[in-house]
Chains A and B, each alone.
Chain A
């Protein structure tokens, strides 16, 4: 009898561990997802240790080294591995510091739109009625505009800066989280375990956040990865249009905007920042595909 109770208490933690290992089993089966994860971890390391890794300061202008080509080309110098830009700044160092920007943008925008979206979605799905109608009409209105255009206009109103850009992008990404959360809440709300919790006296807050929310996480995680890469792309696009991070910030999109007039003379000032964006976004999307397959029970071949 005593032994039976013991196994009961163990099983909750063991179950979680088992679920995690099962998740890892399906995730690691996807080669692309693992590659994406490795690249992403490498990017995080580069961003965190940027001051140690970068050979030069990202802002230092070497007047004797303007538009120096990459080291392996004729005229290149070993100290500027990927060449220098139009005012003599080391491109590699700027790219390394740029990783800080992109990862921070992804994290900040995703956190903002995820928490906002979950909160609003929970309320809409739990209370329904006119609250739900008003919220969902509002989301429809946001979705009626192309996201980049809406972000551009918002930034034009708030004033061009990285912070305003991130807020604007978060706002355009938020409706997806609201819709997902609401749909999941509505599906879960009528299930027996929720009714049981309500009958045992759980209040609306506990029902929303402790009972229902943990069972809606899978689609939200997948959407969060998507938002992470979208945020990086949109912020880079805003920077490219001159409405995101402002020069001399080594943000990759802003670097591209500064490099635009040199595209036919110095290909390297254009190629490398874009490549950095592509690799980062690709790594995150690879992980996202892996997460979706591992978390979606339909895809499992059990």
Chain B
């Protein structure tokens, strides 16, 4: 197992270095003067230009600049935002809990509904239940989620007026973030109505973000179950006279879950990287909206640092998924 971990790391480190080169190169590839882009000042005198260039270290050779940047990244210095003048890592850490909270709620919805749906569809293969469930799953899988979010806003926020349109909590509540998770913080604050306000803000974005993973998990659970249910050991278990519930629940589901767990892990990785569309539609102050806003504000240091942080999260989550997979399925280790 340790050798397996080492082999994975041996692949991961060059990939991370490659990612950092790409993120670093992006800004240099931009049309225009990097000094103007990185300082955010459009018009400046030659003296000011030289001063900023020296200040930002842009007058040095490219390789030195890159190594300097990489050195900063390793020690947690991802640079400073042009717009807000605050360190990028600090911004990221302040926004990340919002993305984690949303992602966790979405993945709980997706797993809690997707796995039972897939199992039922597999057991009742070919029936009306199977066909309608898989039909719905395919619609969910094909859904343009930015439109789906708008539809839910029209229905629940517009017509029924059940939920608010945007944000994490009503503006009338204010308390210091303790954990960064609004659901926990609102409970800790002990303000009346704060928790229900947080829940009502969270529910629509969670549903929207859960839609595609839910469909993917349901489809994959079904096909994994179908494969496992045709195996000899299931026939043996049935022939032994075990109850159908025991056969499906214990023998089949446990083996069918192996590929599904990988999918869930990969979905979590993508979600933690920030749900660009969901966060934009609901003005959810997380990583995805931060990146989109930075793209529009042309805040290049943030785009650069954000890309790197996001790629790092995805790679770390994927590594954990790989290791878990190796634990569950010893065959993969070699």
Contact = CB atoms under 8 A, between A and B. Distances in A.
Given A263-B150, A282-B142, A286-B138, A144 B19 contact: yes
B273 A237 contact: no
B76 interface: no
A148 B146 contact: no
A264 interface: yes
Nearest to B318: A144
Contacts of B135: 32
A253 B147 CA distance: 9
B132 to A, nearest CB: 12
Contacts of A145: 19, 273, 307, 310-311, 314
Nearest to B138: A285
Nearest to A236: B144
A233 B143 CA distance: 8
A145 B315 CA distance: 9
B174 interface: no
| Chain A residues touching B, range | 35 or more
Given A137-B15, A145-B311, A270-B154, A277 B276 contact: no
Given A140-B11, A152-B292, A285-B138, A274 B18 contact: no
B43 interface: no
A157 B29 contact: yes
A206 interface: no
Interface in B264-319: 270, 273-274, 276-277, 280, 288, 291-292, 295-296, 298, 303, 307, 310-311, 314-315
A229 interface: yes
A212 to B, nearest CB: 26
A24 interface: no
In the A-B complex, the 4 residue pairs with the closest CB atoms: A274-B147, A281-B142, A282-B142, A141-B18
Interface of A: 32, 137-138, 140-141, 144-146, 148-149, 152-153, 156-157, 159, 229, 233, 236-237, 240-243, 253, 256, 260, 263-264, 267, 270-271, 273-274, 277-278, 281-282, 285-286, 289
